[in-house]
Amino acid sequence: MMQKIPVQIIDASTFAVDSKIHVRLTEGFFQHLRRLISWPLLCIYFALVWLQVDGQPWLLFDFSQRRILLFGTSLSWHDLPLLAGIMIAGTSLLFFMAVGWGRVWCGFACPQSIWTWVFIRIEQWTEGRANIRARQENQPLNGSLLLRRISKHLLWVSFSIFTAVTFTGYFIPIRELVSDLFTWQAGAGTLGWLTCMAVLTYLNAGLVREKICLHACPYSRFQGVMFDDQTRTVSYDKNRGEPRSSKRSSDGSSGDCVDCGLCVQVCPTGIDIRNGLQAACIDCGACIDACDTVMEKIQRPKGLIRFCSEDQLEKRSSPLWRPRLVGYLLVLLTTCAAVVYGFSGKTELLVEIRRDRGALFHQLNEETICNRYLFKLENFRSERQQFHLSISGLPTATLEGNKTIKQESFGQWLPYRICALKPLPPRSEVSINFQNNGFKLTKNTTFIAINR
């Protein structure tokens, strides 16, 4: 009978790497798919910050103007719930993917993974393949080895600075930021922020790497509650692979696994997938591609390591669509619909009206009573450069002040006075109308008067 090795469930807290992991790069379907996803995401990250619509950045979190430019749409800080809705929708998508296909987000689209793979590529380009790097790890740094090591870190630092500048460009207009940097006019706060972001990128993608996935990322901890026996995740078929043997037995008692160790060498977190489901696995599929290559060489069927569920490994029924997965899908669709509905009613013009705190009212003459106010407008549509003011609701009331508020006055408190002829009730509702080319916003306030 074939001897079987039991599958062990290893928690990330018991997994530690004392020495540096030298990841061996491999090729295959999932690595091509990963690059097909990650490289466009990288290009979008570095290019999106430069795109403009009508002279305005396409995506900008503008703290100084208290607005968010989102894909050609201007949002006020009163629209922050929309961003919260987008984050909830993204989280729902993350959970939906986790229940169905494990940590595919981590392996194919997570920024930590994408930047780590870029840094590994740079490392291989400057210092050679993984086996060469491993041999040179404890060798003295001199000659060409020192030059290659310096070149690697210089490229890492350069890419980190490029990343930090781009990220900051989503909060400060990138053209203004780059101009300030090249003319040495950037403030100490901006330089400090850029330094922190560059250092964090260098550490996370270059030095810390897999330890972020193992110890800092909370997503790996979700696996215990998100996974079930129908979740399709990277799995080793122990029934087919065991017992392992580097040589094929004549009686067929050995499994398909030849114990080459390639699945461990290509893993970015350094785990052995043959030990079973582990919190450290990011489902990048590198071990699948490496194993499939070996299976081709020894003329055995592919799929010794593959995306499959525990039920599939045990030859049990394993439906993909099940109540739990459908539930997460419904949550995802609901949150997306709520966000779309929220954007249809977003704030286009924000108006604040304050009454003069010095006096509730004052009598201009024997027939006229006036109330003083302060108006402030914040416009979130770039095509509207000015607004015309009018008053309604009180027949004898007139508005005194600038009847046209232009763009240069947006965000400022402007003085106004509303006056009306006696006799007047003690309290009257007055409507202030703000108009621009068919758009109209009405703000109500209370006019106070005492007839003497």
pLDDT digits (tens, 9 = 90+) for 325-360: 999 999 999 999 999 888 877 777 888 898 877 777
| Amino acid of residue 347 | T
Whether 215 and 353 map to the same domain: the answer is no
Domain ends where: 173, 196, 219? 219
CATH of the domain at 416: 2.60.40.10
Q: Which domain holds residue 422?
A: 349-448
Residue 117 resides in a domain: yes
Q: In the chain, how many domains are there? A: 2
C-alpha distances out from residue 155 to 119, 122, 151, 201, 301, Å = 9, 7, 6, 12, 41
Closest C-alpha among 255, 308, 318, 355 to residue 5 = 255
pLDDT single digits (tens) 46-79: 999 999 887 888 899 888 777 788 887 777 777 7
Question: 44 and 53 in contact (C-beta within 8 Å)?
Answer: no
Residue 277 resides in a domain: no
Residue 384 resides in a domain: yes
Angle at 379 between CA 353 and CA 393, to 5 degrees: 40
Domain ends where: 219, 238, 266? 219
444, containing H or E segment? strand 439-448
Distance CA 229, CA 232 (A): 8
- The model's pTM is 0.79
Residue 287 resides in a domain: no
Residue 12 resides in a domain: no
Residue 372 resides in a domain: yes
Residue 35 resides in a domain: yes
pLDDT single digits (tens) 125-178: 999 999 899 888 888 888 889 999 999 999 999 999 999 999 999 999 999 999
Residue 240 resides in a domain: no
Domain ends where: 185, 219, 253? 219
Strand, coil or helix: what is 15?
A: coil
Whether 32 and 181 map to the same domain: the answer is yes
Whether 213 and 357 map to the same domain: the answer is no
